[in-house]
A = this chain, B = another copy of it.
Amino acid sequence: MTSTSSSPVSFVRAAVDAEIASFTERRRAQLLEIGAELAPVMEALEAMLAGGKRLRPAFCYWGWRGAGGAEVPGIYTAAASLEFLQACALIHDDVIDNSDTRRGLPATHKRLEALHRRSGWSGGAQGFGQGSAILIGDLCLAWSDEMFQGSELPLEALRAGRRPFDEMRTEVMAGQYLDMLEQVRGSESVEASLRVMHYKAAKYTIERPLHMGAALAGRSAELAGVYSDYGIALGIAFQLRDDVLGVFGDPEETGKPAGDDLREGKRTLLVAETLERATPADAAEFRRHLGDPHLTPETVEWMRALATECGALEACERRIDGYVAQATEALESPEVDDAARPALADLIVAATARKH
């Protein structure tokens, strides 16, 4: 995602970073009081929290401003709490997918696995790494709602804001399970990938953070519909862009090896479109390579060419354009406060830009 100093993401970012730093500082003291050996837990957690685009906090904040919410410190705390939820999702996701890296750095479980090896402890290093990462993710999940509930916003506002917060947590975990299910079922349908995108990405990344902002500002009734129209459309566009980048992206920009999604065998919409449009022989060959961890650069190139030539890439780009148009139209609603409309428009561009 492009981010300049004046973008609506980076505007929120500094305040969210400060909230995370101050919350983490207090929790570090608590953990180290329990035991000095907990330092590596804290380091792994801080490394995970240091990265990320703060996209969910940005949508929560602008959802609040779009609902007429004032510029008060409490909204940044509530928004920042989403980063702990996201940290849990990523840490656990990496254990589930057995991913070695995250944003170009070792995944949390690999980090703790390395600590085990370095220390020459007994038992399996891999099991220790995975077990630790499960617990570190749990800590992040617990701290997420501790931080949300500790925001200096009126208790009634927090009660209203919890509804979308709670819905969102259930949805993202359900979405992750469905995603896992589609992988093991070898699902190839466009509908199946759209459903996973709906829950795992669109609602979680964009719609629900916006709903939280609106609910915290006491304006759910007026804005929930508008934010859903904007958020679901933009969320799917965002995920489709991510899928395209996962196959065609430049490693320098994505922080992942070229064609990483193909190696991982992700059943994305781009893959579904390719399998649907290619000749049976090409589809069979594509399917055979999909999920092969040892894919050569040449085969990645061949798979990219097939996705392009059969029209799947173009179909995804057309879908992205269509969803961007829907999100843009939704923003025209007079319910959205003028203070937020330009930022929400910029976020459409930021979330779907061809470079990350």
Contact = CB atoms under 8 A, between A and B. Distances in A.
Contacts of A166: 142, 146
Contact of A135 (B155, B171, B173): B173
Given A155-B155, A184-B128, A185-B121, A142 B173 contact: yes
A176 B41 CA distance: 12
A131 B96 contact: yes
Nearest to A143: B170
Contact of A170 (B127, B142, B199): B142
Interface in A120-165: 121-123, 127-128, 130-132, 134-135, 137-139, 141-143, 145-146, 149, 155-156, 159, 162
Interface stretch (A31-39, A49-57, A311-319): A31-39
A180 B132 contact: yes
A263 to B, nearest CB: 15
B134 A170 contact: no
A35 B184 contact: no
Contact of A138 (B141, B143, B171): B141
A180 B128 contact: yes
A145 B144 CA distance: 11
A306 B99 CA distance: 45
Contacts of A178: 34-35, 37-38
A174 interface: yes
A217 interface: no
Nearest to A170: B30
A181 interface: yes
Contacts of A123: 183-184
A104 interface: no
A34 B171 contact: yes
Interface of A: 27, 30-31, 34-35, 37-38, 41, 88, 92, 95-96, 98, 116, 121-123, 127-128, 130-132, 134-135, 137-139, 141-143, 145-146, 149, 155-156, 159, 162, 166-167, 169-171, 173-178, 180-181, 183-186, 195, 199
16 contacts: A31-B170, A35-B174, A37-B178, A88-B138, A96-B130, A96-B131, A121-B184, A121-B185, A132-B177, A135-B180, A137-B138, A139-B174, A141-B142, A143-B170, A149-B159, A155-B155
